Every structure is written in structure tokens, then in C-alpha cells.
Structure 1
């Protein structure tokens, strides 16, 4: 690109969201400076390595991080807020908003601290854009604080631009978003964000302009809807178990209705990860503070159906091995909360493995990408280098994360090494016909036993 993009962009916080956003902004032609308070993370990103596994992200980093062969050189990283304030016209805040310990509410300390560090250094007009998922009402409070702390006063503006990236598809979702939502208070802020997203807008991505509270609510309500859809099909699985129906066929049949749609209708051990569980809990907490808690009481049920699925899987495993887990051997396939990710945060798979272990089973886990993170979180479980090794000598095999690798396993080869050919499919993605043909006893949540 001969003609330099006029706007210079900074990205504060380089975790999942930040690292992806920074690389994508460089791909869109901007000069980008990423900031993280961890020098180790900055050094890692400068080597073109990512702190987590996300398909396509390392390639994108190497394509743009200065100092790599054939790199565009548009992307750099720093630990200095001074450098960021001096460099950027637009500052994207992409830091984490975890659940507070011991309560449902969201911990805003990282967002607050990023703003408190950046604002006093803003000596020329700048737009600060929040991307983190925050409780509604935060943007208005942060905008006030920004004006108060920034030497340029009202020329330091805030906008809110929630992200909707899916782990495993983060690069694609950032470069080709299915919608761009911006909460703004001025024409100038809207125009600058239109300039940032000019490429996806030209490709036809819808651009939705809202006020602050609506922009903040869009992300939380989208996640609440998806969580509700997953818990709905899992509730149907519970009814199917009782009535001897088949939830997979049921989901297929209702999914043909385009008002319902096929996506997120796979019954199993439920959702986890760093977003859905914490987001719906923070939403409930915030609604309570606003005096609207009754509007979201259904989310309690969504959460409780979801957590019940894990307990149900443990029960299924106990039944499979004859009523007590003590002294049994269980092979677990999957540790991450979803495939194509190494993320084990609030992972249903690891949660089930951990519960089985606590109840006396000897549990061996294999996951294509999540082993290191799983071991750090649950060091007492055993870990195997392959699916075959994980199930060796097992009295039951549990399929808990729907990696493609597991769908392609040969049931006959696995049958040679287990103690008992008993498989429990917690994700409803294995082919029962194939497994039963290889003389496995096959059981899945919400499906008939034979």
C-alpha cells in the first residue's frame, strides 16, 4: 500500500481480543501499536507468537509485525502508555472483564486502570474506543472520567464498539464481521469509526449506530440469547431422556424452521469458556442494580440447566461403570470448552473430568491443543499424548469436546486397547452406528440407548 492510512491505531490489552484486533487492524492497512503491561507478552507478540491458540492468528501477526521477513512492518508492541498516547489517533481498549470472586458481577478494574493510565497522557484530540464487555452504564461513567483526566478535555472522546468474535474464528470475524455496532455521542466519532471499518463496510457489513447503553447491551444480550438457545436444547434433551426420544433428530427437525435456525442447537454437556457464563451472570447482577432483575430471572434457569448437564454426564459415567467410580479408569477425549481453541476457562469437559477424579476414578485426558492449559488448571488429572493412549485400559470413554480429530477416530482400533467398549458422547457428534458396529456400547445425552 503506497498511500498510508491516515489514522494511527493503538490497542490496549493483547489477550484474545486485543491480539486479534491489533493484527486485523494492520491487515486492514493501518499502522498499529499494541500495548500490554506484561513485557513477556510484548516480547512474545514481537516474535510473532500468540499467548493462545487461535487458527490463522500467528500467520497474520508475522505478516505485519515489524522485523519479520516480508512483513509489512505496520504492527508494533510496547509497554509504554506515553508511546501509545503520542502515537495513536484512535485507542481501542481490549482488556479483560472477568467475573468478580465470590459474586456474579463483572470486575471492571482492568478497564478502569487502562483509562486512568491513558487519559492523563492525551495531549491531542483522540478517540478512545471500548471493546471489552462491560455492565451497561459503564461507558457514560468512563466518558466523564476521560474528559476529566485528559489534558485535551472534550477533545478526548469515548465510543463503545463491542466485539462479537468467536474463538476458533476470531480472525475471520474481525476482518469480515457480520455486523459493526458503535455507540457514539458525536458525528466525528462515527466518521472516524467508519474510516476504521471502511473495508468491511465496503464488503457489506451492516453498521449499526447507537447510544452508549444500547451498544453495551448488544453484546450481553447476544450472549444471553445464545446461552438460552443452548440451554433450551439441553432442556429438550432432558425431556427426551425421560420420554425415550432423540434430541439430535428433534434439533434437526426444529432447526429447519428459519425462525429458529440450526446453529447452537446441539445438545450436550453445555457451554463454558471465558464469555457466556460470566456474561450472563454479570448481566443478571447489573439488571438487579438497575431494578430490572425480574426481566432476567430466566437467565438463572439457563445457567442452572447448563451446570446440570455436567452433573448428568458424571451420573452417566457412574452408571456406565456399574454404580461406583472408585477405582475405575476413565478415558476423556477433550479438555477445552470448544474445538479449535486452547481455552479451558470454565470448560465443561475439564469440569466433568475433575468431578470424576474427585469421586475416585483414575482419569486420563487427551486434547489436541489444550493440554498445557488443562494441566496448569487440573494438575492432579493424568494426561496422555494421544487419544489412543488416553483410553488405554479404560472402563469407559467420554467424548467431551467436539474436535474433528475425535469424529475421525477408528472405533475398532480404540476397542483393541480399552478394558470395556463403552463410550459416552457428551457432544452428540460421534456416529452411533459406526461405534455400535465396532461392538461398542454407545450412550449419548438425550438419545435412545439403542
Structure 2
């Protein structure tokens, strides 16, 4: 099919490349000229495993091209809107300016029977509002909402072989067109849910709210474990064997971050308030509060262990991205921890395999190095806050030869406490005795 993708950020660049990889003829549109220049050259504007390969393959084949001119989308049958919906500057609500601008920009370029498909995460009611506008300005076209469920680090896989497809549609025609887009996934047996606009919009925010709640629940249990001497990791193992609960997302630590979960649960709360149902999701405010408390707990552990002050202490921060296999530092707990240490007078040096450039752009006051050994050398404290494989696999004996003081805080509970203690380290985890 002939497809346009409006917005070539994280979601849009992956979606456009994956659609072309599946055999569609795709044009990606973005107002950022530098981003478009990079994409035309086969350079992804961010790190995502597997993206470079499908981006270069699709551009070389001629199935994928990029432009800053939305008029070049005019011959597309389907237009995906994949722009960002950041948190508003002065409220918790989602900022829909980019969605609205993309939608209005498409209106003069819609062919008969064209389908606009929303991929962006939006407050419930957005699709209904846009559908009314479309009926007024371009009645020859129609609208669907098709939320994305991408995991950073697995986004290419999740786009090409999704675990489910959700269509929010007003008629069977839109569903049939989407079936053509996702034919390979449907033929592979991917579950497909066809529903209304409001349900499709709620699916995405409800999923993120549930995942955030599960993470904050186990972090709340970590707080109780710290007060009682229990081990939250063993607790998670035990309750995770219950099939109704499951073990995934029950990893206590420094909490969640990134460009989705934090802003999405806040936007959900804001929208519920607008609907007069704020009490229905009031618990999400505590979910958010627990999450933010765990970042501070990492710093407090260090302050307590150093007798009340970290001034002048050399702190090696392992990781600045919000999760491994990504260069995304948006609302990153790891970067937040590093900044907190710096603010308390510590001599902070942070390292990360992929995220240093983005971290430096946001917090140039920190010192950075791409060399893990350099970060560790002479450290009074090692803080693991992003669970990159290379940090999980560190040898405590070898690391012990580099540092000035064998003290480690495991902000992700991924190290083996017995092995590190046997190598002479003071080991502190979150919610672990």
C-alpha cells in the first residue's frame, strides 16, 4: 500500500521503516530538516536495536523516502499520525498541538477514500473530535485510531510482529484497510481487536497505567521490606508464581522513566479530572509519588552510609538512560540520581554505552565518559542505575581493583549480593537486607 507517516521521531521513524520493510511504499514526513537529512542518509536520529538495518534496507530499495513537505504524502492511501504528545508545560495534561497540526496539515492532501490513522497516545475523546472535524473539512476521507505498544529496545520487533492489533474505527471500511497494512501479522495469527474510538484510546493509557502501577507496587513493597529486613526480590519471586500476578514488571529498584509511562499516567489523571472521574484513577498520583521516591532513596542510602554527607565523594554512576538498549534519557531515573548526587556536592562521573550525548545536552554540568573503567577508577561509590548487560556482568574482583572504596548501590537489584560481598564490597540493594 501507499503509506505516509507524519512525524519521524521515535515512533514514526520505526513505523515508517518497518512498514517499508514489510513491502509497503512509504514516505515519512517531518518538519525537522536535520532529522529528515539524517534519515535520507540511512542514519537513525536515535539508538534502537535493528532500526539501522531496516532503515538502510528500505531506503536502498526505494520503498522508503523522507521529506519535509507534507504535500508529498498526497498520493498515500493511508496516513499514520505518529507525532509526540508531551506533557503540557503548566499542567499534567497532554499537549496535543503536534497531533492537531499534523491532522490539519493533511486535510488539503487527502485523496478520495484516504484513511488517517492515529498512532500517537492521546486523551480519550481526541479521535471523536478529529473525526467530527474530518467530516466537516474532508468528508471523502475517514479516521481510525491504532495505538502502538512499542517497547524501547524491541520497537522494530514489536512493529513487524506485534503481540496484538487494536483498531478504533467507525466503519468496516477502515478496518479492511488496516487489515491490508498488517496482513503479514494477521496471517501469522496476531490477535486483532476491532472496537470504537474511545476504547482504542483507553487501551494504550490503561496498559501504561497498569504497568506503572505494577512497578510502583513492588517498589512500595521494597519500602516495607527495608523497614522489616525482608527481601523484596524473593518476595517478587514468590508472588510472581501466582499466574494471576505474574513475575514480569515486579522488579523493585529505582523505578520507571522514559517518554511514555510518567507523562501518560499524568495525562490520564488530568483527563479523568476533566471527565469528572478523577477519583477513579486517583491512585495513579500515589503510583507517581512512589516512583519518584525511589530515585531519592538511592541517594539517601549513600548519604546514610557516608555519615550524612557525600561532599567531595567520587561517585561513579553506571547508566544515564531510562532503560538499557536505548539512548533515551527523558525522565530517566538514572540521570535524575546523577544530578541529585551532583547537587549534594559529590564528584559525579557518569557513563553509558549509548546515552551520553543526550544526557550531556540536558545536564552539561555532569562529567561523562564512555569508558566504564575510567568511570570506576578511584570511585568512593559505584551506583548501578541502568541495567545494561555490561554492568550486570561486571566482575566484582576486577572492579575492586579500580575503585578507592568498595561500596556499591545496586539501583536495579541485578547484581549478585553474595558475589560482591565475597569480593569485599559493601553491597546495598533496594528492598534487600
> Normalized against structure 1, the TM-score is what?
0.95
Aligned residue among 429, 433, 437 for 2:414: 429
Partner SS, residue 100 of structure 1: coil
**Where does 1:41-56 land on structure 2 (aligned, <5 Å)?**
41-56=35-50
Aligned residue among 13, 17, 22 for 1:19: 13
Aligned residue among 239, 259, 268 for 1:283: 268
| Superposed displacement of residue 265, structure 1 | 0.5
- Which residue of 2 is the match for residue 308 of structure 1? 293
Distance in 2 of aligned mates of 1:422 and 1:447: 15
Distance in 2 of aligned mates of 1:29 and 1:243: 57
Distance in 2 of aligned mates of 1:304 and 1:329: 29
Aligned residue among 335, 341, 345 for 1:350: 335
Aligned residue among 155, 169, 172 for 2:154: 169
- Which residue of 2 is the match for residue 38 of structure 1? 32
Q: Does 1:399 align with 2:384?
A: yes
| Superposed displacement of residue 319, structure 1 | 1.6
- Which residue of 1 is the match for residue 93 of structure 2? 105
- Which residue of 2 is the match for residue 129 of structure 1? 117
| Superposed displacement of residue 258, structure 1 | 1.4
Q: Does 1:145 align with 2:138?
A: no
Partner SS, residue 155 of structure 1: coil
- Which residue of 1 is the match for residue 375 of structure 2? 390
Distance in 2 of aligned mates of 1:144 and 1:417: 64
Aligned partners of 2:296 and 2:337 also within 8 Å: yes
Q: Which moved more, 1:405-414 or 1:280-289?
A: 405-414
Q: Does 1:211 align with 2:230?
A: no
Aligned partners of 2:317 and 2:338 also within 8 Å: yes
Partner SS, residue 33 of structure 1: strand
- Which residue of 1 is the match for residue 257 of structure 2? 272
| Superposed displacement of residue 124, structure 1 | 2.6
Partner SS, residue 61 of structure 2: coil
Aligned residue among 54, 57, 67 for 1:63: 57
Aligned partners of 2:218 and 2:251 also within 8 Å: yes
- Which residue of 1 is the match for residue 167 of structure 2? 182
| Superposed displacement of residue 255, structure 1 | 1.1
Distance in 1 of aligned mates of 2:381 and 2:432: 18
Aligned partners of 2:5 and 2:28 also within 8 Å: yes
Aligned partners of 1:321 and 1:396 also within 8 Å: no
| Superposed displacement of residue 321, structure 1 | 2.2
Partner SS, residue 226 of structure 2: helix
Partner SS, residue 159 of structure 1: strand
Distance in 2 of aligned mates of 1:433 and 1:204: 45
Aligned residue among 414, 417, 425 for 1:440: 425
Root-mean-square deviation over aligned CA pairs: 0.9
Q: Does 1:83 align with 2:92?
A: no
Distance in 2 of aligned mates of 1:403 and 1:102: 34
Aligned partners of 1:91 and 1:128 also within 8 Å: yes
Aligned partners of 1:331 and 1:390 also within 8 Å: yes
| Number of aligned residue pairs | 433
Partner SS, residue 85 of structure 2: coil
| Superposed displacement of residue 40, structure 1 | 1.2
Distance in 1 of aligned mates of 2:274 and 2:72: 38
Q: Could you give the per-residue CA deviations for residues 23-54 of structure 1, whole angstroms, max 9, x where no partner exists?
A: 11111111111111112111111111111100
Distance in 2 of aligned mates of 1:234 and 1:89: 46
| Superposed displacement of residue 123, structure 1 | 4.2
| Superposed displacement of residue 399, structure 1 | 0.4
| Superposed displacement of residue 415, structure 1 | 1.0
Q: Could you give the per-residue CA deviations for residues 366-388 of structure 1, whole angstroms, max 9, x where no partner exists?
A: 01110111111110111122221
Q: Which moved more, 1:170-179 or 1:120-129?
A: 120-129
- Which residue of 2 is the match for residue 3 of structure 1? none
Q: Could you give the per-residue CA deviations for residues 379-429 of structure 1, whole angstroms, max 9, x where no partner exists?
A: 011112222111222111100000000011121121112111000000001
Partner SS, residue 190 of structure 1: helix
Q: Could you give the per-residue CA deviations for residues 216-271 of structure 1, whole angstroms, max 9, x where no partner exists?
A: 00000000000000000000101111110001111111111111111101000000
Q: Which moved more, 1:216-225 or 1:27-36?
A: 27-36
